[in-house]
Amino acid sequence: MSIFCLGVNHKTAPVEIRERLAFAESAIPHHLDAIREIDCVAEVVVLSTCNRVEIYGAADEPAAALDEVITYLVDHFEVSPGEVEFYRHEAEAAANHLFEVASGLDSMVLGETEIFGQIKKAYSAAQESGSTSRRMNKLFQQSFSVGKLVRSSTRIQQGSTSVGSAAVDLAEKIFGQLDGCRVMLIGAGEMSRVTAQSLRSRGAKSIIVSNRSFDKAEELAAELEGRAVRFDDWVNYLDQVDIVISSTGAPHTVVKKDHVEKAIAKRRGQSLFLIDIAVPRDIENEVNELDNVYLYNIDQLQRIAEAGVAQRHRQIEVCRVVISEFLDEKGIEALAMSPTRQETENVGSTGPKTPHQNMSKTLILGTRGSDLALTQARMTESALRAQGIDCRIEVIKTIGDKRPDLKLSEFSQGDSPILDKGIFTKELEEALIRGEIDFAVHSLKDVPTELGDGFEICTTLPRADIADVLLTADQSIIGDLALLAGKTIATSSVRRAQQLKWLCPEVDVVDIRGNVPTRIRKLVENGEWDGILLARAGIERLGIYDPSRKSFDFEGTEVFAAELPADEFLPAAGQGAVGIEIRSDNDAARAALATINHGPTFCRVTAERAFLERLKAGCQTPVGAYTWFEDEGATLAMSVRVFDEARPDEEPFVGAVKGASDNPGALADQLMELKISE
């Protein structure tokens, strides 16, 4: 007995076909009974929405059941087989499809939650009709668990995805809860109506509608349970509302600065949020000059929405890793699905096996619990699973996580500094020693240069971009480091601070702690800083930054990004690389991890870390290192910049060498010879 899924959705069939295949709600019990009467079908659930029609079932012969259900649908709804192409899934693929649907990954609006309720309703209808048993009950109950897990552990729901939702999200940032907020619509267009409905669903109570056609204003006001006012009288109500949505279609501005100025004077410091979704614009741009007034036009809202959509799309693979982990751990065994062909072929096999195939236990992956660390852990987990190696994630708090109040340079243990003994790795290594985890996943730039006896970095994933990025809410300082003169830039890295001061002596550099989102939040909320410096790899992996765009929306604030070229502003050794640490005596873990090692990255970071080792420098010493390949990979080149933290005004040591890529450590030796002879 195995499960199956058959269906069409907004991606595979036009609305004309979906309408013809749609099940009337009142007729669903009849169809459930009719499909169950098909000989090989034991259980069935029908999911019918405006964007999809899907049949889930359990059968002894799922392929035959799929054929029979297609025949039933074609006959009943009078569609010809050539008009529609159904997608068909069996066993694990069917479960995976339902889990993606429940998580909002298969929706027209990525990450939306309405489908979750629709699945629950479809399952309840099938239960009431007696059409489900053990397999469908387990499958749909697990889909609810997966849907909640994906939404709670990823960023798939974050970010606005439409002009209307962007406006509503901004309103909540300005006013907090929208309960009791008063709204005015100037113009009764469709976008105004939809935005007002969203505001009302979030708690806005009083809605005033003004339109040139008073009849239309009254009609929309009735729909929104508000009241209509005549168009020549709306200005008299401006001081009585908190949010204004304007979309008149007039050829000139309607809401003037003096209108808003007079209203603000009567509001005693209360904020006024103006949403201009008209083209041409309805509201004078000079309104932005007034205190406690927030004005957004349709272009600005559209940019926020596009950034939200892009952010959600960048979370798809993260969500799929969560689903895959859930399905691997619970779905197949619990649903008693048919074995895969590979499993069948392996039964009784006596042929040779690769080292990782000999591993019978699940590998345990240790990681910190920050968003970035978990993202990198899931990348590693996914890469291993693609090689047929099972693993699970164990989150371990490090001292660096436990004391976010301290500057990196302030960490100590009694009288002994522990900064270069691994404030982000020490507890993970202790877990390795105790055997609680099989390997630890790190941002390699945070790993101490000299590992303790019995540990090694055995594997690196493909390296992300190694550049540093300047983030700022002030676009005027983007483009040239000279523009930072007299500005205040925050960073947690001594290397970034020293290098920035060297390139632009007039800049003021201050320290900052916290994870990546926390640092960006401090930037947009703290007027003391003009910008912050972060590694591009981190903000890109988190889905915050899209390098194809010059800016991104962060909680309603536009943040501008400027990459600092890696050959000019040298990155940290190992920056952008994910390194995997094991106990040196764990041959089984080493063999498994060798299947995902990225050779070019491993070569480059070996050279960079070797130079730090020769220099007796730690991961917080102000050293920049940049490597690249030449001659189609036969030659490895490395450039370094070494600052003296005790004497920051001194010129740094700058060196560059080339050598054979099969001996990366030799480059470190050459650079040390240059430095000693300096």
Catalytic residues: 50
CA dihedral 286, 287, 289, 291 (to 10 degrees): 170
**What amino acid occupies position 527?**
G
SS3 category, 670 = helix
Query: With contact defined as beta carbons under 8 Å apart, do 322 and 150 qualify?
Result: yes
CA angle, 389 then 392 then 395, to 5° = 145
- Extract the tokens encoding 311: 């952010």
Whether residue 225 contacts residue 243, with contact meaning beta carbons closer than 8 Å, is answered with no
Rounded to whole angstroms, how far apart are CA atoms 283 and 244? Answer: 10
CA 339/CA 316 separation, integer angstroms = 28
Tell me the C-alpha distance between 246 and 191, whole Å: 10
Q: What φ, ψ does residue 653 adopt, rounded to 5°? A: -80, 130
Q: With CA atoms as reference, report the closest residue to 365 among 388, 392, 383.
A: 392
Q: How far apart are CA 126 and CA 296, in angstroms?
A: 47
Q: Residue type at 458?
A: C
- Three-class SS of 316-334: HHHHHHHHHHHHHHHHHHH
Can you give 564-631 as a three-state secondary structure string? ECCCCCCCCCCCCCEEEEEECCCHHHHHHHHCCCCHHHHHHHHHHHHHHHHHCCCCCCCEEEEEEEEH
Residue 366: DSSP 8-state: E
